[in-house]
Amino acid sequence: MRAQSNSLCITASRTYRILKNGIFGIFFICCLAQLNSFQGEAQEIHSAQELYDQGDYKQASLAAEKQNDLEGYGLAVRAALVYGGYVARDIEAIQWLGRAERLSKIAMKMDGTAWRNRLSASLVIGYKAKKRHSVVLVNQAKILIEGLIADYPNEEMAHGALAGWHSEISAAGFFPRLAFGASRELAGENFKVARSLNDAKIPLNIEYAKYLARGDENERKSAGKILITIIEAVPHDAFEQMLQGNAKKLLIALNSGKKQEIKTIIAEISAFPDF
């Protein structure tokens, strides 16, 4: 009985550590570009979208919220997540995650069936899990993503999100896989489904490259080829330009052949790195 108790304690301890180290939040990057590709009708939304495309995520979020409708709140959430996750630091990052959560709840009340709203909600929950080291929230995010896939089986970003969920947690080792039911094999299968639906998206491809970068020598070679494709692609906005910069960093790490350097870079280019 004592041995079983010790085993559970070790599992809980290692589960806490992977959440503390922040690997869970990495996969959400693959959703953000697709989420921001809607067409707004109002001039305020056009202005907010332009701000987002130019990389002014803070002002984009503030401008989009002023529209006070579903599309405005949706863009406000997504811009808040990018600003909080990649620009802000420390307390400001926490504040912007809180803002994203508040706006996401408003958007979900307006339309809880829209796939973009549901995927945004899973992003917010995932980042909260990263901040709070919450096992419950990790599983809640997975349930939301699986439900989204059931209702929208042809949305590649939903499959990509689930692939990332399995990839990031299974990469931490046996105990996290056991605690969360994650699988590297399932990650690969979902990435294949996502890329069969659309293999041209920079955010999706960089997540797939991260997955491959943790694999064997052949997978790392494949990761390098994908990263080169990302770097050579024409970016649609400032967010994709940022991802291209991240791809260059990961490619350098891959070329070094040092697994620890690869692991370090993957962590550095994650959203909310201070959590």
Q: What is the pLDDT of residues 212-268, one digit of tens each?
A: 999 999 999 999 999 999 999 999 999 999 999 999 999 999 999 999 999 999 988
Q: Average pLDDT of 177-197?
A: 92
- Is residue 157's pLDDT more than 60? yes
* Domain encompassing residue 142: 135-275
Please tell me which residue, 22 or 236, carries the higher pLDDT value: 236
The pLDDT score that the predictor gives to residue 20 is 47
Query: Given pLDDT bands bounded at 50, 70 and 90, which one contains residue 30?
Result: low
The pLDDT score that the predictor gives to residue 16 is 45
Residue 240 lies in a domain: yes
Q: Could you report the per-residue pLDDT of 94-107, keeping only the tens digit for each?
A: 999 999 999 999 99
- Is residue 54's pLDDT more than 70? yes
Residue 187 lies in a domain: yes
The pLDDT score that the predictor gives to residue 9 is 43
Alpha carbon dihedral 67, 70, 75, 81, in 10-degree steps, equals 120
Residue 14 lies in a domain: no
Within a 10 A sphere around the Cβ of 114, how many other Cβ atoms?
17
Residue 56 lies in a domain: no
Q: Could you report the per-residue pLDDT of 85-136, keeping only the tens digit for each?
A: 999 999 999 999 999 999 999 999 999 999 999 999 998 998 898 888 788 8
Q: How many domains does the chain have?
A: 1
Judge contact between 129 and 168, C-beta under 8 A. Answer: no
Residue 28 lies in a domain: no
Residue 72 lies in a domain: no
Angle between helices 238-256 and 259-268 (to 10 degrees): 170
Residue 128 lies in a domain: no
Residue 211 lies in a domain: yes
Reported pTM? 0.83
